[in-house]
Amino acid sequence: MNEDVDIVARKIALQLCSLMAVVDWNYNRHEPCLVCFKKYMHHIDGLPCESDDNIKPRAPHKRPVNYKL
Ligand SMILES: [Zn+2]
């Protein structure tokens, strides 16, 4: 029971982070992702992973995603 609640809470937390990542784009480039612990700017689309079983590819080496495309 408690485990289920934790899993749901985790999913909601990750979804919230994704939403906030879009809203606060210019201020969260150095925030660490809750799933893979890499900074948001090191994700291929500049946004954190949305679930534990779907880790996003990294941004190209030395090309952090600092600007919206
Ligand atoms: Zn991530």
CA 57 / ligand 1 centre spacing (Å): 8
> CA-to-CA distance for 25 and 66, rounded, in angstroms?
9
Residue-wise pLDDT for 31-46, tens only, equals 999 999 999 999 999 9
Residue-wise pLDDT for 8-38, tens only, equals 999 999 999 999 999 999 999 999 999 999 9
**pTM confidence score:** 0.86
Contact partners, residue 11, CB within 8 Å, separation at least 6: 51
CA 1 / ligand 1 centre spacing (Å): 27
CA 8 / ligand 1 centre spacing (Å): 18
